[in-house]
Amino acid sequence: MLSLILLAFQSTTHAHSIAEVRVEERTTLLEGAAFGDAGSYERIVGEVVFHFDPADPLLQQVVDLELAPLTEDGHVEAIADLMILRPLQRPENGGTAFMEVSNRGGKASLRYFCNGRGGANPITAEDFGDGLLMNRGTTLVWLGWQADVPDRPDQLRLQVPRAKNPDGTPIRGFVRADWSLHQAQTELEISHRGHIPYLPAPGTEASAVLSKRPSRDAKREVVDRESWSFDNANIRGHFDANFIYELVYTAEDPWILGLGPAAMAQFAGYLKDENACPYPVRHTIAVGISQTGRFLRHFLYQDFNNLGDGQRAFDGMFILTAGAGRGSFNHRFGQPSRDAHQNSAFFYPTDLFPFTSATQTDPITGISDGLYALGTASDTLPKVFQINTGYEYWGRAAALIHSSVDGESDIAPIANERLFHIGGAQHFPIGWPRGATRSAIQDAKDVPHFQGSPVNNLVPYRALLMALFDWVESDIAPPDSQIPTIARNTLVSLEDYALPKIRGLKKPTVAEQAYRADYGPQWKQGIVSLQPPLLGASFPILVPQVDGDGNEISGVGTLETWFAVGTFLPYQVDVLRPDGSQALTDFYGSFLPFAKDDAQAEAWGDPRAGRISTTPSLLHALIDLSLDHFLTMRWILPQDQDTQSEKIRGWAKSLRASD
């Protein structure tokens, strides 16, 4: 293992916060095997030391930066984990760095975009798949940005200081945790998904409040304080099944979380700097998936892409499955892993106005704002793709990113932005099939109901990413936005959602509800003083409309939905709560195969016109034509042809033979 300092960075650009890049490992990948014309690649593992100037006017949006401990030279230090995969020879076009904002410390790009196995420690040929990104000479970069990532092998983390009062005493504030229980428990972790939690401040445990309620919007009932207790990072007691428990307590010493987006911006700027070692790249593109897609929306809203003097940190952004969300990425006592869903992690500062890139005025609050308002003013916006599946319209309020806050009209994307909807897909891709065909509550005569929607999100993701690369690198115009709209009646209210009446299938009566939430009088300064927040008026709920078979009729087509062998639903209706309210399962969709023939459809009580028995012949006749069409439309890359056609034929064969 090689240990050295790669550079002590003295920038000629505004990305001047990098003190040094420490290289702990430098390895030639796959014994020098070439990735197409790009040649051999190397892997660099190490860390980046940042020294941020608290007086920098472009860092004043970082909450509590002025309360950070300082180094001897008056800077605020942070240290990020780093991994880079890059070609040994600089590409002729100068090269592009593809910088993944890691979701909770992980690495997903090789799995999502290269058909690879990926993983936390990519080093084998299987990890890199077909090498789609490497074959074009792309530099892949992973940099730690999240302070509370647990200490696990190969996970990326950013070490940041904790804020103190000017006199050195601890800063205290409210922290909230919640749990949705499906079975009774006697111990609950106060962290989210195993992250490093804020512990109760000494002497404050007795003032903590635990409540329970049967559903998200139900009234809270305070749990007797004598019936539960703290045990370090847990609480102990008896916690009933089918209830939401919520804990509010006092913590101290908040991380300065806004150094995460600041670090991403500064390192992106460094990668393009003429002094970058061993060579600079010409362009940078960021990708964020789910949590980190929300991170990138937040990043743009707070103008972190502005490096000063008209310089951009990122030239392009690929924002996946973020819906209308932002998140807890730059406020005091924020928990970056927390989000806000129908069935978990409720009412954290996620679905917040403004939602659209263009500026709107909220008629209820009178506030005018836009997601890109600051970036427009500084003229530092990147070229942006925002891509959502059908699930995000139900579980992440995605319609709000392209509709008015009163739900009455469409809001067009701005010129440097494209919006795409992947019809029928759930939050993340899965194998086929996922689970049992019938749940415990289904009657044997009901339409079989698969858990999870098997629409392959990754095919359009790969193709759209290549379109973004072409737009950033060569200014080749990308496809137009493809989204459901109010004007075309493809984006509708829950009341107008025309799901066919299939026996055994519940029509959803709920979806993710965004509220005008009040986090307290200091929220504009990034300080939460109301936990839980006070909820004001809600924003409208709009979802993609479906056809007579229940499949969404808008957005980017896929082979699964163009040659459907059933109904692909991007949601899964959960069982009723104790108070009788309906809920949706977080993240997952559903699949209901068509009947084989009219007799089976009648036995199922199935009004859909689709039949599996007719589908294979259509596929055999049209599959080549459809692939040519999809290639022309740039939705399917040549590498995906055989996999997709074989997958569709396999579905048809297996479903035709089944009940």
In this structure, the answer to whether residues 359 and 266 fall within a common structural domain is no
What is the tens place of the pLDDT at every residue in 90-120? 999 999 999 999 999 999 999 999 999 988 9
In this structure, the answer to whether residues 149 and 176 fall within a common structural domain is no
In this structure, the answer to whether residues 366 and 383 fall within a common structural domain is yes
Domain-located, residue 366: yes
The domain boundary, picked from 232, 252, 272, lies at 252
- State the average pLDDT over residues 474-493: 96
Residue 431 pLDDT exceeds 90 = no
Domain-located, residue 528: no
Measured CA to CA, the distance from residue 27 to residue 45 in angstroms comes to 9
Of residues 378 and 575, more confidently modeled: 378
Distances (CA, A) of 502 to 120, 149, 449: 43, 44, 11
In this structure, the answer to whether residues 126 and 176 fall within a common structural domain is no
Measured CA to CA, the distance from residue 544 to residue 139 in angstroms comes to 37
Domain-located, residue 581: yes
Give the per-residue pLDDT at 437: 47
- State the average pLDDT over residues 453-463: 92
Domain-located, residue 651: no
Give the per-residue pLDDT at 563: 81
Give the per-residue pLDDT at 558: 86
In this structure, the answer to whether residues 247 and 259 fall within a common structural domain is no
Measured CA to CA, the distance from residue 434 to residue 426 in angstroms comes to 12
User: 172 — alpha (psi -120 to 50), left (phi > 0) or beta?
Assistant: beta
- State the average pLDDT over residues 250-256: 98
Can you say whether the dihedral through the CA atoms of 43, 49, 53, 54 is positive or negative? positive
In this structure, the answer to whether residues 183 and 111 fall within a common structural domain is no
Phi–psi pair at 482, nearest 5 degrees: -130, 100
The domain boundary, picked from 252, 270, 302, lies at 252
In this structure, the answer to whether residues 115 and 262 fall within a common structural domain is yes
Domain-located, residue 449: yes
In this structure, the answer to whether residues 225 and 248 fall within a common structural domain is yes
Domain-located, residue 367: yes
Domain-located, residue 532: no
- State the average pLDDT over residues 398-418: 97
**Considering the chain, what percentage of its residues have pLDDT values greater than 90?**
78
Residue 6 pLDDT exceeds 60 = no
In this structure, the answer to whether residues 185 and 235 fall within a common structural domain is yes
Give the per-residue pLDDT at 565: 87
Q: Is the Cβ–Cβ distance between 35 and 67 less than 8 Å? A: no
Give the per-residue pLDDT at 139: 98
Q: Which residues have CB under 8 Å from 580's CB, separation 6+?
A: none
pLDDT band (50, 70, 90) for residue 441: very low
**Nearest CA among 615, 452, 626, 486 for reference residue 549:** 615
Q: Which residues have CB under 8 Å from 589's CB, separation 6+?
A: 390, 391, 424, 425, 426, 452, 453, 455, 568, 569, 570, 571, 572
pLDDT band (50, 70, 90) for residue 629: low
Give the per-residue pLDDT at 9: 41
Give the per-residue pLDDT at 619: 54
**Nearest CA among 137, 160, 123 for reference residue 44:** 123
Q: Is the Cβ–Cβ distance between 408 and 337 less than 8 Å? A: no
Measured CA to CA, the distance from residue 188 to residue 370 in angstroms comes to 39
Q: Which residues have CB under 8 Å from 98's CB, separation 6+?
A: 109, 133, 138, 139, 140, 141, 285, 287
- State the average pLDDT over residues 610-630: 60
In this structure, the answer to whether residues 11 and 44 fall within a common structural domain is yes
Residue 630 pLDDT exceeds 60 = no
- State the average pLDDT over residues 111-137: 95
In this structure, the answer to whether residues 326 and 190 fall within a common structural domain is no
pLDDT band (50, 70, 90) for residue 440: very low
**Considering the chain, what percentage of its residues have pLDDT values greater than 70?**
89
- State the average pLDDT over residues 514-529: 97
The domain boundary, picked from 563, 588, 605, lies at 605
Q: Total structural domains in the chain?
A: 3
Domain-located, residue 633: no
Residue range(s) defining the domain that contains residue 243: 172-252
Q: How large is the angle between the packed helices 615-633 and 641-656, nearest 10 degrees?
A: 160
pLDDT band (50, 70, 90) for residue 375: very high
> What mean pLDDT value characterizes the chain?
90
Give the lowest-confidence range in 103-117, 222-236, 519-533, 563-577. Answer: 563-577
In this structure, the answer to whether residues 343 and 481 fall within a common structural domain is yes
- State the average pLDDT over residues 198-214: 97
Give the per-residue pLDDT at 78: 98
What is the tens place of the pLDDT at every residue in 269-281? 999 999 887 899 9
Helix, strand, or coil here: 628? helix
